[in-house]
Structure 1
Amino acid sequence: MGYLYSALWFIVAAVLLIRFRKESAVVYILSGYFAFAGVWWLADQLAEADMLSGIYGWILRIVSAVMLIGV
């Protein structure tokens, strides 16, 4: 199921870059975040460490909170 989430994040990032890049500069920031989330979920599936709990989970939550508040 994690591979599906990872693919979803990459698809959303690609759609934002391809379709909406001319509308606003915020699209580049959002696409970067979605690509980051895709890499994170893919690393969670491929690595032995659980990337969604512990210190790694907090890193993901902090980056997500900054994106929610900052953008």
Structure 2
Amino acid sequence: MQQKFEAAIYNEEVLAALQEGEHHKNLSDSWAETHYFEIYASSLEDAWDRMRRKYSTDRGFIIKSVEEVD
């Protein structure tokens, strides 16, 4: 059974670029702020794994939280 989760994610590379008066070469400036995504997964661990695969720290993404929602 799939549960519903919400992930809060931003990109530290975009944030750093904006702080230096620059822009990230591939991502919009909005990624400096937290984005919220709904995800369906079998467990909290599965939800974290899915988010880590899609929003890799190698590309500057920071997953602030993943929480179960109703």
TM-score normalised by length of structure 2: 0.30
Higher RCO by CA contacts (8 Å cutoff, separation 6 or greater): 2
TM-score normalised by length of structure 1: 0.30
